[in-house]
Amino acid sequence: MAIPSVKLLGGYDFPVVGLGTWQSDNEQALEDALNAALELGYRHIDTAYVYRNEHVIGRVLKEWLTSGKIKRDDLFITTKLPMEAINPDRVEQYIKKSLESLQLDYVDLYLIHFPICTKPRKPDSKEPIETEPTDHIAVWKKMEEQVDAGRTKTIGLSNFSIAQIDRVIKNSRIKPACLQVEIHTFFPQNELVKFAQDNGLVVVAYSPLANPSINKFYAKMGLPPKELPNMLTNGIISSIAKKHNKSNAQIMLKFLLQRNIVVIPKSVTATRLKENIDLFDFTLDGDDLTALRGLDQGEPARVCDFSFAKAFVSHPEWPFPARD
Ligand SMILES: NC(=O)c1ccc[n+]([C@@H]2O[C@H](COP(=O)([O-])OP(=O)(O)OC[C@H]3O[C@@H](n4cnc5c(N)ncnc54)[C@H](OP(=O)(O)O)[C@@H]3O)[C@@H](O)[C@H]2O)c1
């Protein structure tokens, strides 16, 4: 099935459902998921240098492109400048690394992953993470140069605050096309979404299902589990799902689509991949929307809070509200 698109700055088609690939650590499982997703009609794939899976995505895309089953123009590939490269001297080097792994001449969207630069260190290093001073305007100029050089069609921001987005917009030659941030029913980020949409950025929701597997990540980082709302067990979401004969995940995703927000649910499970794009034959009504709006829990429901590194929280460019 063809997934509907919205227009990004520059007129590019951006499919409203993409495939998330964070925590897709098992190469075979990711390869199978990518093949299944492409067969089902997914054309938008979200990755990042830091997910360490660009080479797997590159391998699968190469097969689809060389066999002629798909054309490069039909795909929308997003990747991200990692925190260790939020520095004007490293932007070109890192986008080239991503393009090499992805086996592509260009990506469709290149995002600054997070507004804080870290000191480069070895993968899996147990040393504490250290940060560096971070100059968004200088980095943005290098991002613009990647568009000029044809390495990416569009550029954007991830995890930036309203003040940080505003500063980039006011100092840009090429405007950010997209803002990718955490958004879901329990954490709707209404003010940030309104600001970005009013300024012409397409908003993408990451962790749109409030990532029910997030505690696997915290365990891997040696951190205690977080108590977070769960979309699978929430009674209000379940009753709306029952009314529409849909799953809880589909209600979570549809609520975002009806706010004109693009979603990138991650799954490596074939049945869920199918479910996560089967969203276009029903509409949430006024009562559903009111009930879902009532599930807003604000900051405590943030799944990916990045505060696991103490150096981030004390950095002048920390983008999220201070925690007690
Ligand atoms: N810019 C950033 O800083 C940032 C941060 C976080 C995420 N992201 C991007 O956003 C994507 C999505 O976010 P996320 O991975 O954090 O979380 P998510 O998509 O909200 O949740 C993924 C989890 O939900 C499960 N799942 C998927 N579909 C389901 C369904 N229909 N029913 C029940 N469970 C389902 C998946 O399990 P299975 O895989 O086992 O099926 C996985 O455990 C990421 O993969 C990544 O591409 C970006």
Domains and CATH numbers, the chain: 5-313 (3.20.20.100)
CB 42 within 8 A of CB 273: yes
Per-residue model confidence (pLDDT) at position 324 = 53
Cα distances (angstroms) measured from residue 227 to each of 156, 213, 271, 279, 296? 31, 12, 27, 29, 16
The response to whether 184 counts as a known ligand-binding position is no
DSSP structural state of residue 320: S
CB 295 within 8 A of CB 234: yes
pLDDT surpasses 60 at 87? yes
pLDDT surpasses 70 at 182? yes
- For residues 270-296, average pLDDT: 98
CB 211 within 8 A of CB 225: no
Give Rg (Cα) of the chain.
19
Name which residue sits closest to atom 48 of ligand 1, judged by CA: 206
125: CB partners within 8 A, 6+ apart: none
Ligand 1 geometric centre to CA of 57 (Å): 17
Name which residue sits closest to atom 36 of ligand 1, judged by CA: 267
- Separation of CA 77 from chain center: 11
99: CB partners within 8 A, 6+ apart: 105, 106, 107, 151
Distance CA 77, CA 74 (A): 10
Known catalytic membership, residue 51:
yes
pLDDT surpasses 80 at 123? no
Distance CA 83, CA 147 (A): 20
pLDDT surpasses 90 at 102? yes
pLDDT surpasses 90 at 283? yes
pLDDT surpasses 80 at 4? yes
pLDDT band at 72 (very low <50, low <70, confident <90, very high): very high
pLDDT in tens, 195-206: 999 999 999 999
Ligand 1 geometric centre to CA of 68 (Å): 29
Beta bridge partners of 12: 8
Per-residue model confidence (pLDDT) at position 323 = 63
Distance CA 157, CA 168 (A): 9
pLDDT surpasses 80 at 192? yes
C-beta of 276 in contact with ligand 1 (< 6 A): yes
CB 139 within 8 A of CB 112: yes
| Range list of β-strands (E), the chain | 5-8, 12-15, 19-20, 44-46, 76-81, 107-112, 117-118, 131-132, 152-158, 178-182, 202-206, 262-263
% of the chain exceeding 70 in pLDDT: 99
pLDDT surpasses 60 at 227? yes
pLDDT surpasses 70 at 184? yes
Per-residue model confidence (pLDDT) at position 34 = 98
Mean pLDDT of the chain: 96
